[in-house]
């Protein structure tokens, strides 16, 4: 678009229903992203505000929030237990879109964690048993030995979910959508949850 051509003067982002918009964008990302359309950056922080970020996979979402699974003894697990607030970021390069989500975290029930754990590939279950996530590892061979030991331990039986392996759900208080537009006149819309938790307020933001 040249500078002399008219520019769209209206936002392409709807003013309501952020969870519905997330569903639509996620569905489109599944169709366009080459892999892991459900990958998201998870940012946590220590109680004194030192941040840490890593990529995890979204494994469930709905009105209650956005759920991922992890080793609760890992660095992120320790930070979550000490400061149960986090931020998520989805970035879909193929669509030139991103979504930022912020809110408190709560641990999923044991039966929910059990159900998801046993839906995973058996090798992934055994890997979770063998991994002392985020702890120093003297040699990769040690990890392989622990994996083989887990294979032997559960041979012919269901793999028992370790008590430290669980899920967390982020309940969204803020959801921001970013959409690429021409001439860097991008669209940004922020949704903030009403104090009562029954609805959303919406405003555009300067890009």
Q: Which residues are catalytic?
A: 184
Q: Based on the domain organization, do 173 and 128 belong to the same domain?
A: no
Residue 192 CB burial class (10 angstroms; 0-12, 13-18, ≥19): middle
Distance CA 120, CA 116 (A): 7
Q: Based on the domain organization, do 60 and 24 belong to the same domain?
A: yes
Strand partners, 97: 92, 179
Q: Residue 66 falls within a domain, yes or no?
A: yes
In 3D space, the residue among 24, 19, 61 whose CA is nearest the CA of residue 40 turns out to be 61
DSSP 8-state symbol, 22 = H
Q: Based on the domain organization, do 29 and 99 belong to the same domain?
A: yes
Q: Based on the domain organization, do 147 and 170 belong to the same domain?
A: no
Pairing label, strands 39-45, 85-92: antiparallel
Tens place of pLDDT per residue across the chain (207 aa): 455 567 778 899 999 999 999 999 999 999 999 889 999 999 999 999 999 999 999 999 999 999 999 999 999 999 999 999 999 999 999 999 999 999 999 999 999 999 999 999 999 999 999 998 888 889 999 999 999 999 999 999 999 999 999 999 999 999 999 999 888 889 999 999 998 878 999 999 999
| Domain assignment of residue 129, given as a range | 119-160
Please give the model's pTM, rounded to 2 decimal places: 0.91
CA distances 132 to 46, 103, 136, 143, Å, are: 20, 28, 8, 9
């Amino acid at each position: 678009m040249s500078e002399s051509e008219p520019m769209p003067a209206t936002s392409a982002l709807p003013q309501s229903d952020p969870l519905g918009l997330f569903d639509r964008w996620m569905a489109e990302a599944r169709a366009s992203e080459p892999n892991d359309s459900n990958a998201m950056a998870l940012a946590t922080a220590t109680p004194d505000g030192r941040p840490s970020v890593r990529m995890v996979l979204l494994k469930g979402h709905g009105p209650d929030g956005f759920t991922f699974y992890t080793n609760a003894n890992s660095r992120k697990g320790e930070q979550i237990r000490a400061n149960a607030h986090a931020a998520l970021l989805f970035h879909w390069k193929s669509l030139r879109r991103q979504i930022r989500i912020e809110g408190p975290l709560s641990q999923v029930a044991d039966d929910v964690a059990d159900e998801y754990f046993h839906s995973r590939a058996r090798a992934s279950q055994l890997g979770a048993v063998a991994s002392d996530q985020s702890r120093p590892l003297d040699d990769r061979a040690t990890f392989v030995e622990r994996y083989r030991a887990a294979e032997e331990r559960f041979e012919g039986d269901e793999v028992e979910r370790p008590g430290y392996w669980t899920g967390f759900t982020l309940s969204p208080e803020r959801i921001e959508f970013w959409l690429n537009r021409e001439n860097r006149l991008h669209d940004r819309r922020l949704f903030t949850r009403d104090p009562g938790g029954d609805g959303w307020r919406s405003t555009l933001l300067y890009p």
